[in-house]
Structure 1
């Protein structure tokens, strides 16, 4: 790191901001991306969905808030984790290069909306499947919590 620092000090100094901006924009087609991000009510809807989903799955296994006092924070935490999984997946799946954004014309918004719908459905299903596949281990975790209390 010191060699890099010394090398930079010995040069002419940093490029002017305009030069740097030009260099970055010259690589924009491959280095600049726009990432889709769901915010606001959509995030809240995802969390609410996963809370109800987890509560339903736990009820099928005989677990309720009245039986397990620490269940509510567990459900809320896992609902947020599943929501984060979906939101991150959407962001990773829907990255658009600058050139793509610049050339969108006609009806790409409708295609994007359909693609987003497919991705949302797929990520929500994946998150639910992951939770259900790990739900059997949940009973062991809750039993351990109860025995420690």
Structure 2
């Protein structure tokens, strides 16, 4: 028969689902977190924002959809990557322990909304600056493709 570790008894034994649930909740203040995650229409809004942002930045550098047949998938892929950067950053920035969620009410919830707005703006700006900082590489690649054609 297989043996199992029983932390309560300091050795082997079996534990019921209720006992495990109790052990987990005993650690909830340090181990259980709630993470802010943007879903649905908000994700779509963010991707569409980055598509337009990338199109505008490329147009400033005279790069349009006629420059290369794979430019549209490039834009869509990078828009999703920039969106993912923002969404993951928000999730990492806004993790709340069980105790914090239990005590949150009224004004703290409003402060959370303001803090979330600040984080969103900051992460979106960071993503945009990151894209703009690397755009010269795309311009060089397209120039090389054009020269080789």
* Fold conserved between structures, TM > 0.5: yes
Report how far residue 109 of structure 1 moved: 1.5
Task: Give every structure 1 segment of 4 or more consecutive aligned residues whose post-TM-superposition deviation is greater than 6 Å.
Answer: none
SS in 1 for 2:38: coil
Match of 1:93 in 2: 93
The two structures have a TM-score, normalised by structure 2, of 0.88
The two structures have a TM-score, normalised by structure 1, of 0.88
2-side partners of 1:129 and 1:146: how far apart? 27
Query: Is 1:123 matched up with 2:114?
Result: no
Q: Tell me, which stretches of 5 or more residues in structure 1 are unaligned? A: 1-5
2-side partners of 1:118 and 1:81: how far apart? 20
Match of 1:8 in 2: 4
RCO comparison, higher one (Cα < 8 Å, 6+) = 1
Q: Tell me, which stretches of 5 or more residues in structure 2 are unaligned? A: 6-10
Q: Deviations over 1:70-129 (max 9, x none)?
A: 100000000000000000000000000000001112311110100000000000000000
Q: Deviations over 1:128-147 (max 9, x none)?
A: 00000000011123345556
Match of 1:50 in 2: 50
